[in-house]
Amino acid sequence: MSVDAVGTARRGRGARKAQRQTRNVTMLPALKRKLPLTEPMTPDQIEKIDAASMDILENVGVQFRDDIALADWKRAGAKVVDEMVYLDRHLVRELIATIPETFTYNARNPANNLPFGRDHGMFIPMTGAPFLRDLDDVRRNPTLDDLANFHKLSHMLPAIHSSAHHIVEPYDHPISQRHLRITYSSMKHSDKTFMGMTTSPKNAEDVIEMCGLLFGDDFIDTHPVVTGNCNGNSPLVWDETMLGALRAFSRRNQPVLCSPFVLGGANTPASVPATVAQLNAEALSALAYTQVVRKGAPAIYGHYLSTVSMKSGAPMAGTPEISLMNFMIGQMARFYGVPWRTSNTLGGAKTFDAQAGYESAMTMNAVLMAGANYMWHSAGWNEAGMHCSTAKFIVDAEMCEMGYRMAEGINWTDFEAAMSAVPDVGPGGHYLGHPHTLENFQKAFFMPEMFDNNSIEQWQAEGSVEITERALIKARAMLNEYEEPKLDDGVNEALLDYIARREREIPAVDALNQDH
């Protein structure tokens, strides 16, 4: 596209954008689903999965590679042999019973607080990309400025409910101190909810300290304000790093995603229900452990879920079995009365192409119909998580808006009024000028901004702007219009002081030594 064409497109977009500004700077409330969920398992089949998982926990056991966790488990009455923990099903049920089924996620702007659990859902951007495709679609290592841009976009995109944490890995800051700057960036650039780093127990403790500075120590002890993720090593292993981070969060009453990392067929059996049964056992073991650490602490049934290609060993996304497993896992989480996290727009495409579109939409549909509460990786994910695409970030976020509208279900409120237009218009007429249409069109039918539905002639006349460029034009315009939701001066100073002190204490390990 020529520079002139971009200019024209920008002006066109600009005009359109101005018209929709209100929507673009207002966060949608937490999704409250009204569509019936897809529940492919009968109650008997749910119990079959439950029984198979409990058999695993009792007889195969789970490895907790962490001395503190092993001691905790002994005290809690589990059978512990070396690093193996065998959990009786009654103990598991008793422990998970104290996990809250619902709670409120608190944001520093209380208008952005979110009810969570049961039929509420929230969209959270992707995490942890070692590369980005930037505002010019160039693939490179990210910086703190790039991360800030994603936090700003998250703040402005209406269906995105969280600024998350390291959406991209900022390579321009030493890895050992990075968690401090990432957390500060999440807190500073958005007043929505966010996530906390769990890259080590110490890092997790820093996050919690910073949350204390932002919200007040007393407040956070009784209010969930941040989310930590604890990945399991499937099959059936939890390691010291993750368990230490889990404790840092659970001790302070902050929600933890208990997430087995499933590569279906590689670290699970080659069977959809057997994969779910193993994943379920793994999730239950960590969920139960959160309650050993602190009874009543919020915890979220999680997983990273893919199937692997037998040809290459690569993770796949958007496949039918991932949809089926999402439906099933949703049923299991509801069976246990625990909120549920899954992954949204996953995919393995190298560019923002048709593959990326198919993969993301297949996954989003499954996740919505499965009833997920915490829909992580909802924007930007591409190349199996190796890069966050700025263009895809924008389009995914609009897809989340569309998914949100679908999951809200049918609007019957003006049905009678709408029906009265039918005799007015009559056979062979048209509705475009009818008063009911003029009044209701905007809210009756969603008009995606990122999908071009014009004729090819008009599209060509406007410079043949492809979807990647359309999305990047929007991203640049949004960043130009971004207004920072300022932190309180005292809080800001306290956070910066804390970071400065910790950066003096923590030896700077060069990011470039890190192995990706």
Nearest to 44 by CA among 341, 331, 371, 368: 331
Least Å distance, CB 327 to a second copy, is: 8
Residues 399-438 vs a second copy: string with x where CB under 8 A?
x--xxxxx--xxxx-xx-xxx-xxx-xxxxxxxx-x-xx-
Interacting residues of 97 by C-beta distance below 8 A, sequence separation 6+: 337
265: left (phi over 0), alpha (psi -120 to 50) or beta: left
Residues 226-265 that bind a second copy (CB under 8 A): 233, 235-237, 264-265
Decide whether 219 or 415 has the Cβ nearer to a second copy.
415
Q: Which is nearer to a second copy, 36 or 507 (CB)?
A: 36
Contacts (CB under 8 A) with a second copy, residues 140-169:
none
Q: In the set 307, 342, 343, 373, which binds a second copy (CB under 8 A)?
A: 307
Q: Could you give the angle at which helices 67-76 and 272-293 cross, rounded to 10 degrees? A: 80
Q: Which residue number, 190 or 382, has a Cβ lying nearer to a second copy?
A: 382
Give the residue, chosen from 2, 22, 222, 453, that forms a contact with a second copy under the rule CB under 8 A.
453
Shortest distance (Å) from residue 390 CB to a second copy: 13
Identify the residue whose tokens are 């040809």.
311
Nearer to a second copy by C-beta: 85 or 257?
85
Q: How many residues bind a second copy (CB under 8 A)?
A: 130
Residue 94 or 462: the one with the smaller Cβ distance to a second copy is 462
Site residues for a second copy, window 461-500 (CB under 8 A)?
464, 466-468
CB 208 within 8 A of CB 249: yes
Taking the C-alpha atoms of residue 198 and residue 205, their distance in angstroms, rounded to an integer, is 9
Residue 165: helix, strand or coil by DSSP?
coil
Question: Is residue 114 within 8 Å of residue 104, measured between CB atoms?
Answer: yes
Which of 219/441 has CB closer to a second copy?
441
For residue 67, the minimal CB distance to a second copy (Å) is 17
Instruction: Out of 21, 26, 109, 454, point to the residue binding a second copy (CB under 8 A).
Output: 454
DSSP lists the bridge partners of residue 129 as 168
For residues 171-230, which are near a second copy according to CB under 8 A? Answer: none
Residue 149, classified by CB atoms within 10 Å of its CB into exposed (0-12), middle (13-18) or buried (19+), is buried
Residue among 101, 49, 102, 53 at smallest CA distance from 328: 49
DSSP class of residue 294? S
Q: 324 CB contacts (<8 Å, ≥6 apart)?
A: 40, 272
Task: Using the rule CB under 8 A, give the single segment among 181-189, 192-200, 207-215, 460-468 that binds a second copy.
Answer: 460-468
Amino acid at 202: K
Amino acid identity, position 261: F
Closest CA to 277 of 51, 38, 123: 51
* Cβ distance to a second copy smaller for residue 109 or 411: 411
Report in angstroms how near the CB of residue 15 gets to a second copy at its nearest: 11
Q: How far is the CB of 225 from a second copy (least distance, A)?
A: 31
Residue with smaller CB distance to a second copy, 131 or 374: 131
Per CB under 8 A, contacts with a second copy among 58-77 are 59-63
Q: Smallest distance from the beta carbon of 76 to a second copy, in angstroms?
A: 19
Instruction: Let me know: does 182 contact 164? Beta carbons within 8 Å.
Output: no
In Å, how far are 98, 140, 254 from 498, measured between CA atoms? 34, 31, 20
Subset of 333-392 contacting a second copy (CB under 8 A):
348-362, 365-366, 369, 383-384, 386, 392
Three-state secondary-structure class, residue 267: coil
Neighbours of 454 (CB within 10 A): 10
Applying CB under 8 A, the span of 24-32, 112-120, 244-252, 396-404 interacting with a second copy comes to 396-404
Say if residue 235 is preceded by a cis peptide, omega within 30 of 0.
yes
Q: Which is nearer to a second copy, 53 or 112 (CB)?
A: 53
Kindly identify the residues of this chain, within the stretch 89-118, that bind a second copy according to CB under 8 A. none
Nearer to a second copy among residue 274 and residue 506 (C-beta): 274
Q: Amino acid identity, residue 150?
A: F
Choices 141-149, 334-342, 443-451, 490-498 (CB under 8 A): range interacting with a second copy: 443-451
* Burial per residue of 26-54, b for 16 or more beta-carbon CB atoms within 10 angstroms, e otherwise: ebbebbebeeebbbebeeeebeebbebbb
Q: What count of other Cβ atoms lies within 10 Å of the Cβ of residue 426?
A: 7
For a second copy, the closer of residues 410 and 507 by Cβ is 410
Kindly state the smallest distance separating residue 90's Cβ from a second copy, in Å. Answer: 21
Smallest gap from Cβ 179 to a second copy, in A, equals 27
For strand 103-105 and strand 114-116, is the pairing parallel, antiparallel, or unpaired?
A: antiparallel
The single residue among 18, 23, 26, 45 that binds a second copy, judged by CB under 8 A, is 45
Site residues (CB under 8 A) for a second copy, limited to 5-24: 16
* Three-state secondary-structure class, residue 138: coil
Question: Per rule CB under 8 A, is residue 43 in the interface with a second copy?
Answer: no
Write the binding mask 263 to 302 for a second copy: x where contact by CB under 8 A, - elsewhere: -xxxxxxxxxxx--xx------------------------
